[in-house]
Amino acid sequence: MNGLMSNDDKQIYSLLGICKKAGCIKAGEFMTEKTVKGGSAYLVIVASDSSDNTKKKFRNMTDFYNVPYREFGNKDGLGNCIGCEFRASLAVTNKGLADKLIEKISNIVK
């Protein structure tokens, strides 16, 4: 995360860090898929710089399982904000935090 980020981006990354500390994040493609299929995901976030195949896979999966899907940030940013190396996808397992993230991401991605 760098100094060229908007305040909205910083707030979203910060909120993702809070989710991680609260134990409400499942990170990485395998865990994201497992969480969605297990019915405990309230939001899936896929990095904007992920491959088209990854984006399509999670768009189709979230449509089928009726889970909100958003593209945000980049792989390095998503990984850094949760204390990991790069991550292409995250699942949020807390409804309140997921709703707040959906609101924040929807405000900047129009």
Q: At residue 33, what is the residue type?
A: E
pLDDT of residue 5: 76
Domains of the chain: 7-108 (3.30.1330.30)
pLDDT of residue 1: 46
Q: Residue-wise pLDDT tens for the chain (110 aa)?
A: 445 678 889 999 999 999 999 999 999 999 999 999 999 999 999 999 999 999 999 999 999 999 999 999 999 999 999 999 999 999 999 999 999 999 999 988 65
pTM assigned to the model: 0.93
What residues have CB less than 8 Å from 81, skipping those under 6 apart? 1, 13, 14, 16, 17, 20
What residues are paired with 92 via a beta bridge?
25, 43
